[in-house]
Amino acid sequence: MLAWGDEPVLEEAVEAVLASEGVDVDVVLVDNGCTTDAVDRLRSHERIIVVDPGKNTGFAGGCNLGARHAQGEVLAFINGDAIVAPQALARLAAVAREDGVGLASGSLRLYDEPETMNSAGNPVHFTGLSWAGGLGEPALEHAERREVASATGAATAVLAARFAELGGFCEPMFAYCEDTELSLRAWQRGWRVVYVPDAVVLHRYEFSRNDRKFYLLERNRLFLLLTLFERRTLVVLAPALLGLELAMFAVAVLQGWGRQKVSGWRWLWRHRKEVRARRAVVQAERTVSDAAIVGLLTGDFAPGDSTGLGAPAPMRAGSRIYWMFARRLLLAASSGPALGGDLRGSRL
């Protein structure tokens, strides 16, 4: 668990984890810059290890740091503003232990509306965009276990050995998109990402907008594409990716974060050697091709009305049509079996 900022329900979140049933739990709490005395009040607890990195290590770095201090067979990453139900961690751990499972993702509900979804696993667009799946929908509509493109970083479990094999979260990303990146790398290794509907977690979710967030979201989306996708995939998607870049830049200028968008491009250029090195490692470690996992991705963009984001209907239709033909090209390059071909949300 990470602590950053004021963390108004951190103590409630930690106590909920410690009260978990059906599993032995210890908490590693990484103080990434908590601005209240909540962490200090938790230090004396015998089942809590507090780690002080001395700086904000970001979500990715903080989770990796916490994992290095953990002793359990299963790691659970739970947000400091997320309240787990008594059986949630046991159910996540049980699924994480199953053969072939990479990540187990919880049923994230809104803190003030426990019967309303925050995330039932996160869809991933072929351009790298991702969002909270099922946001604002009744939890009863997401009561079945299924495979998803991406776990939600707010409540995810993984075998410690498997997390180590994956190399943990991608630390250069710092924050945002790192759960998507880890999930897709799990799929590339042939490991499934599973949504666990009875692992209920209440999340004090608030969709925030600020220039720093937009900078990281866009920079990290491009970092993900450049390191995870095969060269053939990038060629096939190049027209759509270029079109989206132009559209996103126009939106950024209109909304006042154009400088942050440009800063993302500059960061990628300045760190191009690091990007190439990361790409070489990821591509060397994968065991399945992009053609085998195209069923994970969606051609639609539907983050939900409550986010204030979206695309005009013609643009969404064009995206779906483009992805239909792009998928055919990618599938034609491979005769191997496809993974995640029937994922909800991955259809046109």
pLDDT for 345 = 40
Question: How far, in Å, are 226, 233, 244, 322, 334 from residue 328 at the CA level?
Answer: 21, 11, 21, 10, 10
pLDDT in tens, 166-215: 999 999 999 999 999 999 999 999 999 999 999 999 999 876 678 899 99
Instruction: Indicate the length of the chain as a whole number.
Output: 348
String of DSSP letters for 138-153: BGGGG-S-EE-SB--T
Identify which of 9, 203, 2 has the alpha carbon closest to the alpha carbon of residue 117: 203
Name, in order, each residue with C-beta under 8 angstroms of 278's C-beta and a sequence gap of 6 or more: 170, 172, 223, 227
Alpha-carbon span 31 to 54, nearest angstrom? 8
Strands 27-34 vs 2-5: parallel, antiparallel or unpaired: parallel
Task: Name residue 201's beta-bridge partners.
Answer: 84, 108
The single residue listed with the structure tokens 């089942």 is 47
- Residue 172 is given by DSSP the state G
**Average pLDDT for 83-112:** 98
String of DSSP letters for 278-333: HHHHHHHH--S-GGGTGGG-BS-----GGGT----HHHHHHHHHHHHHHHHHHHHT
Question: How far, in Å, are 125, 155, 193, 209, 345 from residue 341 at the CA level?
Answer: 14, 24, 13, 33, 10
pLDDT for 335 = 54
Strands 74-78 vs 82-84: parallel, antiparallel or unpaired: unpaired
pLDDT in tens, 46-75: 999 999 999 999 999 999 999 999 999 999
The single residue listed with the structure tokens 């503003």 is 81
- CATH 3.40.50.1370 fits domain 2-203: no
3 state SS of 61: helix
pLDDT for 336 = 54
Name, in order, each residue with C-beta under 8 angstroms of 247's C-beta and a sequence gap of 6 or more: none
Share the mean pLDDT of the chain: 93
Cβ-based neighbour number of residue 284 at 10 Å: 7
pLDDT in tens, 266-295: 999 999 999 999 999 999 999 999 999 999
Which of the four pLDDT bands, split at 50, 70 and 90, describes residue 337? Answer: low
Query: With contact defined as beta carbons under 8 Å apart, do 135 and 119 qualify?
Result: yes
pLDDT for 344 = 42
pLDDT for 205 = 86
Domain-by-domain residue ranges, the chain?
2-203, 211-332
For residue 346, pLDDT over 60 is answered with no
For residue 347, pLDDT over 50 is answered with no
Higher pLDDT, 315 or 123: 123
